[in-house]
Structure 1
Amino acid sequence: MHRSVGPALGIVLALTTTVHAQDVVNGEALARRWCVSCHIVSADARTGQANGLPSFPTLAKAPQTTETSLRRAMTAGHSRMPDFSLTKQEQDNLIAYIFSLRSR
């Protein structure tokens, strides 16, 4: 019975990585569609602000940026942020994309 655990675990980990990668791709697409009008969303942006707002790479690397803080900003918005009424999955995808910028 223990022999089958290794391959099964490998399959689960591979699927998890694939889903995560797809979340990042979907999050980047959402960012380019909805967020780019106010934020710099490109992974290549090392500095700079759009409309006085931080770039996504800057947000990603800020120590105070957490899943909770990002989700709060997406749902409660802020004075200049429109209500996009993002689904939880869309929020998850955007968060995955933003956090992926930490390692770039």
Structure 2
Amino acid sequence: MEQWTEVRRRVLTGELSKHAACREYDISWHTLAKMLTSNEPPGYRQRKPRGKPILGPFLPILHEILEADKKARISNVTPRRPRGYETLLLPAENPRKHGEQHQI
């Protein structure tokens, strides 16, 4: 931005010729022309929106799933152990049932 305004000021006031500005600032003739026509540097301009080549065909399905999840009241996650943490304590209560051998 600073270089943009400096080049514009020096060329438009006649302090520096266009050819000398291109040489001194190491810029293209086309870039200098852009600098002289606009007050500020142009922002990033995307020519066309980026495509979604991999997810593109599945986007409608994904949106449907997300909408269905918003409406769902019951969790789809089911516990793996029916009694939760208590199941981990069972081997201490009944060692024979869980593979330990009894003493002879």
Regarding TM over 0.5, the answer is: no
User: For the superposition of Structure 1 and Structure 2, which TM-score range results when normalised by the shorter chain?
Assistant: under 0.3
Return the TM-score normalized by structure 1. 0.27
TM-score by length of 2: 0.27
Higher relative contact order (CA 8 A, sep 6+): 1
